[in-house]
Amino acid sequence: MTDILVTAEISGAIGTITIRRPKALNALNAAVATQLLDAVLRLSADKSVRVIMLTGEGDRAFVAGADINEFVGASPADALTLAARIKKVTDALIAAPKPVVAVVNGYALGGGLELALACDIRIAASTARLGLPEIKLGILPGGGGTVRLTKIAGSSVARMMTMTGEPITAERAYALGLVASVHAPEELAKAAAALAESLAALAPFALAQLKSSLNIAVDADTESALQAEIKAFALCYSTADQQEGAKAFLAKRKPIFTGN
């Protein structure tokens, strides 16, 4: 029987993916990557799930990187296979038509930070450490780290973090805009649940269009991104939730978004 290394639990409109290899600080081996991709695709396609939370089991690590055991004796072709496997996961996180929140409960290193960088929002425990230490292993980030860290935190921060390989504290990551909020470790789950609830209460079609526009804004030229945003904005007016949002505001009541 295959070991269960990744779980996907649904509670109401919230899907939670947990990477469960705590003895190896949730390091990403081939089996984890395969199960993670499956979980992301499943929750992504499930219309009842309005927000995805991604975290690691235990209080030590989110994910401490790719499994270094798989690097020993690996060839460039093997490395391409490893990187392609992780790219499928990060592509799926970005393409998921709903918010994905990384709940960084400890070390987020290498491929672990790269997973978090592919999420829409990152929140962290004050004890978390975030870094791209690949250079210390004689390699460099291969899961999108140089690209996404540069886009999220700027070239100077990306160069500092990837060239020194030194992890930074959650507070520093907050100051650099890498994480949205920092919480005492015992408060992290509560903060994550509150964020998930608030996101799950929003209109799902508008959120999907918003995420798509934000994704385009990262990659496209300004005019194309502006056109994409206008199209997405207009599309929302085909939904009942758009009417509900406006009517609820005017009636001074909380909107009830049904996803229609």
Q: Which of the residues are catalytic?
A: 114, 134
- Asked if residue 15 binds ligand CO8 (CB under 6 A), the reply is no
- Asked if residue 69 binds ligand CO8 (CB under 6 A), the reply is yes
User: For residues 63 and 112, is the Cβ–Cβ distance under 8 A?
Assistant: yes
In the complex, least distance from residue 219 CB atom to ligand CO8, rounded to whole angstroms: 20
Site string for ligand CO8, 91-110 (x = CB under 6 A): ----------------x-xx
Of 75 and 222, which CB lies nearer to ligand CO8 in the complex structure? 75
Site string for ligand CO8, 176-215 (x = CB under 6 A): ----------------------------------------
Amino acid (1-letter code) at residue 254? K
CA angle (158, 163, 166) in 5-degree steps: 90
CA pair distance 53, 55, nearest whole angstrom: 7
**Phi, psi at 152, each rounded to 5°:** -80, -45
- Asked if residue 135 binds ligand CO8 (CB under 6 A), the reply is no
DSSP 206-245: HHHHHHHHHHHHHHS-HHHHHHHHHHHHHHHTTSHHHHHH
* Near ligand CO8 by CB under 6 A: residue from 6, 8, 14, 82: 82
**Residue corresponding to tokens 């005492």:** 184
- Asked if residue 49 binds ligand CO8 (CB under 6 A), the reply is no
Amino acid (1-letter code) at residue 188? L
Residue 98 contacts by C-beta under 8 Å, 6 or more apart in sequence? 44, 49, 50, 51, 52, 204, 207, 208, 211
* Near ligand CO8 by CB under 6 A: residue from 15, 56, 99, 142: 142
List contacts with ligand CO8 (CB under 6 A).
24-25, 27-28, 64-69, 82-83, 86, 107, 109-111, 133-134, 137, 141-143
